[in-house]
Structure 1
Amino acid sequence: MRSWGVQQHCTLCGEIDETREHLFFACPFSYTMWDNVAGRLLGQRMNPDWSNTLLSIQHARFSPMDLVLVRMVFSMTIYIVWKECNRRRHQKPWSTAAQVTRIIDKTMCNRMTSLRTEPQV
């Protein structure tokens, strides 16, 4: 949109200049979701700066399972933030950060359950 000369505001918090960095990490709405779903997993690596977050995730030493979880949470949170932003932009009902966090948690649980390879006893 910016390349077309259109400046958009953040529909999640009202910030005048919506950038990728702001929308997915620095926006109070999306950062609250990040903190809720990935805070314990990422710990001190949590940062509202897009570049710092990517670098810390890429260079961190995670166990194989934690690495899968980080990647899943990362991609799912970005998708859900984008989806919520578009819902608001197109005048659909809004969700709170708590509601969106529950959606991410439930989706993560469902996805992880579907990945189990051993039958449950």
Structure 2
Amino acid sequence: MVTWNRGASGTCALCQNHLETREHLFFSCPYGSRVWAALAKGLLKARFTTDWSLLLEYISDQHLDRVEGFLIKYVFQAAVYTIWRERNQRRHGEVPQPVEGLILWLDKQVRNQISSIRIKGDMRYEAAYQSWIKARS
């Protein structure tokens, strides 16, 4: 952003302490890292990582179990989008949301997505809800 707009601040809008990079915003910033860890540690277990390249490699693996693959891909997409949205809202002067509120909101989004798939009758994801509950405990 700083390269495109020389007047823009390069400081992270979430923690106000570091240069805002992709790795910092989503994985090193105390705010973003708490969101990611709260949602992904239970799913990824020993494979938990904050390395962008490793994470993309893992979620792109075509041999992932259908439910596990769906959950981690959806959580990754939802977390990245939501953290970015929070960052933008802060940049534009909106009231900051507490990290706990964002985690709860994302948890609800994952549950809603699973429920909408189940309501449509796609039974291939029947185990997704139980997997998500187990990962969150």
TM-score bracket relative to the smaller structure:
0.7 to 0.9
- Structure 1 pair 2–118 and aligned structure 2 pair: CA distance change class (3 A): closer
Indicate conservation of the 8 Å contact 1:37/1:73, yes or no: yes
Please give the per-residue CA displacement for 1:29-76, whole angstroms capped at 9, x wherever unaligned.
111111111111011222222223223433595321110011100100
Deviating more after overlay: 12-21 vs 64-73? 12-21
TM-score normalised per structure 1? 0.86
RMSD: 2.0
- The residue that corresponds to 2:39 in the other structure is 37
TM-score normalised per structure 2? 0.77
- The residue that corresponds to 1:115 in the other structure is 117
- The residue that corresponds to 1:3 in the other structure is 3
- Structure 1 pair 60–14 and aligned structure 2 pair: CA distance change class (3 A): farther
* Mapping 1:59-78, distance limit 5 Å: 59=61, 62-78=64-80
- Structure 1 pair 82–2 and aligned structure 2 pair: CA distance change class (3 A): same
Please give the per-residue CA displacement for 1:54-99, whole angstroms capped at 9, x wherever unaligned.
2343359532111001110010000000011111111111111111
How high is the sequence identity, in percent, across the aligned residues? 34
> 4+ residue stretches of structure 1 with deviation over 6 A?
none
The CA distance in 2 between the partners of 1:33 and 1:87, in whole Å, is 17
Could you list the runs of 5+ residues in structure 1 that have no partner in the other structure? none
Q: Which amino acid aligns with 2:102?
A: V
- The residue that corresponds to 1:58 in the other structure is 60
Aligned length: 119
